């Protein structure tokens, strides 16, 4: 049975157009006009149901505009969502993202109920390495600490000394005070970090299936054909990063756009990220290339509604794993706090 048949479509009401006029105006250039009447009843039904449940909906920046702008209470990158889960007052959280993100939220908010609309929303990076793989690396390189990208499973984080994001990876690597570090799982991010530190990095051959597809030729075409600035995520191949005007994390891209205000920009990252930033920077023309994450696309208004209605797909992390993974995440957060003092 399809998700739509499990969650009968809510009825259209004429007053919805007036009630959601401001939202429509904000995202009318992001959502095709033919799709808006299909999305709006679901948006209203979800917003009503989350109020009844006392729930908070959190959406990653790669979620489609009708989710990101229409129903999310909190938006941001994966770590920001996990921290928000720990800090918010709600006891019920719906995480609109992929599985490792929901796990991280549960790890940092162990006493809250964390739901994900689709349990099969995965990640090529997270699936590229297991806890057993990390354990074997530690045996092969005794005494060498493991830095684990947050785009990993709870069991991988549990085998790691510390976590990092694409924004703080260099800072985290150097905070350990070691000559050599195991850095996993993204080989391209690791290669980028290696250009910015004297620490020797032992890399794993994991890759993001969205970012690894970009080519230097696509990047050059965007610049030459459209006179666009190039902003690339560090999970892209090195030859793509070499073409970029700016390389940075999801959150850093937004800060760069706010500072530089380019007339045209090509965000070399996930398509929905560009869509959602386009709403924030209407004066900037966003040029492709971009690629859609198939896992993020598994999250829909229909399965968000069903998730809330039935309180289904609750994330559970075994306490032994959660406790060790929490230490790796908290170690990273402590590094950030120490840098700000």
For the 126-207+318-340 domain, the top CATH level (class) is: alpha beta
For position 32, what pLDDT does the model report? 85
User: Which one is the CATH code of 211-287: 3.50.50.60, 1.10.260.40, 1.10.10.10, 3.40.50.10800?
Assistant: 3.40.50.10800
Condensed to tens digits (0 to 9), the pLDDT of residues 189-210 reads 999 999 999 999 999 999 999 9
* Helix H or strand E encompassing 114: strand 113-115
For position 8, what pLDDT does the model report? 65
Q: What are phi and psi of 291, to 5 degrees?
A: -130, 145
For position 322, what pLDDT does the model report? 98
Residue 232 tokens, joined: 């690339």
Q: How far is CA 26 from CA 16, 70, 98, in A?
A: 15, 10, 26
Cβ atoms of residues 167 and 117 within 8 Å: no
SS3 call for 149: strand
Mean pLDDT confidence for 314-325:
97
Separation of alpha carbons 36 and 248, rounded Å? 32
Q: What percent of the chain has pLDDT over 90?
A: 80
Q: Is the pLDDT of residue 274 over 60?
A: yes
Separation of alpha carbons 77 and 60, rounded Å? 6
Separation of alpha carbons 166 and 235, rounded Å? 8
Q: What are phi and psi of 78, to 5 degrees?
A: -65, -40
Which residues lie closer than 8 Å to 339 by C-beta, 6 or more apart?
171
Domain ranges of the chain: 3-123+296-310, 126-207+318-340, 211-287
Q: Is the pLDDT of residue 13 over 80?
A: no
Separation of alpha carbons 291 and 218, rounded Å? 12
Cβ burial 187-199 (10 Å sphere, 16+ → b, else e): bbbbbbbbeeeeb
Per CATH, the homologous superfamily of domain 3-123+296-310 is NadA-like (3.40.50.10800)
SS3 call for 55: strand
Cβ atoms of residues 269 and 290 within 8 Å: yes
Condensed to tens digits (0 to 9), the pLDDT of residues 210-249 reads 999 999 999 999 999 999 999 999 999 999 999 999 999 9
CATH fold match for the domains 3-123+296-310 and 126-207+318-340 = yes
> How far, in whole angstroms, is CA 313 from its chain's centroid?
19
Q: How far is CA 147 from CA 106, 171, 305, in A?
A: 20, 11, 37
Band the pLDDT of 338: cuts 50, 70, 90: low
């Amino acid at each position: 049975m399809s998700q739509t048949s499990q969650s009968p479509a809510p009825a259209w009401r004429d007053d919805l157009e007036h009630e959601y006029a401001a939202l429509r105006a904000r995202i009318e250039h992001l959502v095709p006009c033919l799709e808006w009447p299909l999305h709006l009843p679901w948006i209203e039904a979800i917003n009503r149901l989350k109020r009844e449940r006392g729930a908070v909906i959190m959406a990653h920046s790669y979620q489609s505009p009708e989710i990101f702008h229409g129903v999310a209470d909190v938006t941001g990158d994966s770590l920001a969502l996990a921290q928000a889960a720990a800090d918010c007052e709600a006891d019920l959280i719906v995480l609109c993202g992929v599985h490792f993100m929901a796990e991280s939220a549960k790890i940092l908010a162990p006493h809250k109920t964390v739901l994900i609309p689709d349990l099969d929303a995965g990640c090529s990076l997270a699936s590229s390495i297991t806890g057993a793989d990390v354990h074997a690396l530690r045996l092969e390189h005794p005494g060498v600490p493991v830095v684990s990208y947050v785009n990993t499973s709870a069991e991988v984080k549990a085998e790691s000394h510390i976590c990092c994001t694409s924004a703080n990876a260099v800072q985290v690597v150097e905070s350990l005070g070691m000559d050599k570090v195991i850095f996993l799982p993204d080989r391209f991010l690791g290669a980028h970090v290696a250009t910015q530190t004297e620490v020797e990095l032992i890399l794993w051959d994991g890759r993001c299936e969205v970012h690894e597809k970009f080519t230097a030729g696509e990047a050059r075409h965007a610049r030459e054909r459209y006179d666009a600035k190039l902003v690339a995520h560090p999970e892209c191949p090195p030859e793509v990063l070499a073409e970029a005007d700016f390389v940075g994390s999801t959150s850093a891209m937004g800060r760069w756009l706010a500072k530089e205000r380019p007339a045209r920009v090509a965000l070399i990252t996930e398509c929905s990220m560009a869509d959602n930033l386009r709403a924030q920077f209407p004066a900037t023309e966003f040029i492709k290339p971009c690629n859609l994450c198939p896992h993020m696309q598994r999250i829909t208004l229909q399965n968000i509604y069903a998730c809330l209605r039935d309180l289904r797909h609750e994330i559970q992390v075994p306490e032994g794993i959660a406790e060790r993974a929490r230490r790796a995440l908290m170690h990273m957060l402590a590094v950030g706090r120490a840098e700000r003092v």
